[in-house]
Amino acid sequence: MRGKGIALLCLLPFVLFYLAFQIAPLVWIAINSFWSDVNQAWGWDNYSDILTSPFYQQAIRLSLDISLWSSLYGLLIALLGGYSLHQLGNGRLHRFFMSFTNMTSNFAGVPLAFAFVILLGLNGCLTLLMRKYGVMDGFRLFSRDGMVVVYTWFQIPLGILLLYPAFDGLKKEWQESAELLGASRWRYWWHIGLPILSPALIGTFVILLANALGAYATIYALTTGNFNVIPVRIAALVSGDISLDPNTGSALAMLLVVLMAIITVIHQWLVRRSYLNAQ
Amino acid sequence: MRYAEKIYHRIIVWLVFLILAVPLAVTLLYALATEWGATIVPDGFTLKWMTALWSDPRFLTALWHSLLICFGSLLFSLVLVLPAMFVIAYYFPKLDAVMNILILLPFAIPPVVSSVGLLQLYSSEPLALTGTPWILIGCYFTIALPFIYRAIANNMQAINLRELIDAAHLLGASTWQAAWLVVLPNLRKGATIAVLLSFSFLIGEFVFANLLVGTSYETLQVYLYNMRNGSGHFTSALVISYFFVVLVVTWLANALNRERG
């Protein structure tokens, strides 16, 4: 039994640092979100302030809007690209593409923002090209549409990496049988392909959604904090120059945590369900 | 597969590749271009932006800071995680389920949320860590934890930890000798790969670095952000150099991974 006691001691440093840097901040936020500095009282004031303020409502709406669409587009491109890559089978192209995807999945945040300014900014080379050929009257990178494009870009590699293993579940024979029975390609996808992939598709979509909702570095670097989404608002409330109010920041952070928790629970539930289906 | 089908799949794969590659390619071109104003193609090529960058002491300091913090916090994570994982695997296998939940949290909580609490907890006297690099080491330990844990857990499963220790016991070693002299060397490869793979993730971290430390200990990402108003060519050279550093480290990890088979 003495061995076990010393063994427990070995766990102590890990537990201590995990508590200090993961749990304690979270508990601190949770407690502080209920203290209102304005009223000097405990209660739900911070939350009701956020939920009734048009400014924060806009931030929540924009966050959900950008996350939802970038996840959908990212998922669609990942589905098309990943499936084609899977169909082409193992080979040099496959290996090259997979390591390239791995590489780009780490290319987010500030460097990504810079790359997109050069590409699609006011004098970006693609913007100039589009203007020259009159395709579009110049693209507005610092708008909602611009954010959706940038977010979609960093969702694609993650989507491919998450979705790729699921394509192994599509047996070649099924497509051949469907074809022999006279099903068109669309019917095959609608009745067989997509239903089989659906747990993986929904699971990946949920992770992409969480990824976009929490993203801060890219949008902050692109717009220097002038774009109204939840993570930017949180950061401005705790370390901004104008609107310093850590308690409201805590409440907004808690709202994001709750959103994330809902997403995680849905994800776990879907994962379990897909395991049950597979058995 | 029919020929037309093959062509279709190839086109799709190359299209996706193009979408992903264009921002990188343009940044590279920009970093190497002399002037690139209103024309579609650059006027000429030069290495002057690259040399300007690599002779800028502020850049070199930031790079050094980043390398130091990333590898420092990864080593620190190993020191914390390895004994804990060993103890759990050998003495308390039931705790494994708890660990699997613990490593989910850093994924589910965005850094911008954690930093709200961290800023307030560690700004005042007993633990005034904000503004020093030390706080980053603690934060990076938590966000690297899922990667490190997964990589080492796979390695532990592969080496059959219990049998290894029982064999060492039979030969007269104590549990600590067995852990130190038998298990640890066997985990070396997995730990190295875990460190190298998480490195590319940590060196790209901006939120904690900017909110908690900022310019008082400038890392590569914060330097990059602070250079945003400078010449586009210079920042492009910066982005490409950053990417190159990440590339070398991930390539190293992959090479090690292949070697292991």
Residues in chain B with CB shorter than 8 Å from the CB of A81 are 12-13, 15-16
A:B CB pairs within 8 Å: 226
Task: Please report, for residues A4, A9, B42, B110, the alpha-carbon distance to residue A255 in angstroms, rounded to integers and kept in the order given.
Answer: 41, 36, 47, 12
CA distance A279 to chain B (A): 22
Domains of chain A: 54-278 (1.10.3720.10)
- 226-255 of A, contacting B, C-beta below 8 A: 231, 234-235, 237-239, 246, 249-250, 253
Give me the torsion for CA of A25, A31, A32, A36, rounded to 10°: 170
pLDDT at A68 over 80: yes
What is the tens place of the pLDDT at every residue in A117-164?
888 887 777 887 787 787 776 678 888 999 999 999 999 999 999 998
| Cα(A119)–Cα(B239) distance, integer angstroms | 14
Tell me if A10 and B37 make a contact (CB, 8 A cut-off): no
Q: What is the pLDDT of residue B261?
A: 47
Asked if the model's pLDDT at residue A81 lies above 60, the reply is yes
* pLDDT value of position A154: 94
CB A170 within 8 A of CB A84: no
The whole model's pTM is what? 0.88
pLDDT of A72: 97
Distance between CA atoms of B107 and B109, rounded to whole angstroms? 6
Could you say which DSSP state residue A266 is in?
H
Q: How many CB atoms lie within 10 A of CB B123?
A: 14
CA distance B179 to chain A (A): 12
Candidate from B10, B80, B106 with C-beta closest to A22: B106
| pLDDT computed for residue A171 by the predictor | 80
Indicate which of B12, B112, B236, B251 best probes the interface with A, i.e. most A CBs within 10 Å of its own CB. B112
Quick check: A279 pLDDT over 70?
no
- The residues facing A42 across adjacent strands are A35
Position A241 scores a pLDDT of: 67
Measured CA to CA, the distance from residue A220 to residue B211 in angstroms comes to: 12
- Give the pLDDT confidence of A211-245 residue by residue, as tens digits: 999 999 999 999 888 889 999 999 998 887 667 88
CA dist list (Å): A277 to A64, A207, A263, A272, B25: 30, 20, 21, 9, 43
Quick check: B223 and A114 in contact, CB under 8 A? no
Q: Which residue has the tokens 């959908």?
A: A72
**Which range is least confidently modeled, A94-108, A159-173, B39-53, B79-93?**
B39-53
Question: A151-164: per-residue pLDDT in tens?
Answer: 999 999 999 999 98
Q: How far is A153 from chain B (nearest CA, A)?
A: 7
Give the CA angle between residues A22, A16, B195 to the nearest 5°: 70
Q: In chain B, what residues touch A220 (CB-CB under 8 Å)?
A: 206
pLDDT at B183: 87
Selection from A201, A189, A206, A199 nearest residue A261 by Cα: A206
B65-93 mean pLDDT: 91
Q: Is the pLDDT of residue A1 over 60?
A: no
pLDDT above 70 as % of chain A: 95
Helix axis angle, A230-239 to B111-121, nearest 10°:
10
Instruction: Give buried/exposed letters for B1-35 (b at 16+ CB in 10 A, else e).
Output: eeeeeeeebeebbeebbeebebbbebbbbbbbbee
Pick the CATH number of B56-260 from 1.10.3720.10, 3.20.20.70, 1.10.599.10, 3.30.56.10: 1.10.3720.10
Cα–Cα distance, A45 to B83 (Å, whole number): 45
Query: What's the complex ipTM?
Result: 0.86
Question: What's the confidence (pLDDT) of residue A103?
Answer: 82
Q: Which value, in Å, is the radius of gyration of the alpha carbons in chain A?
A: 23
Domain boundaries, chain B: 1-46, 56-260
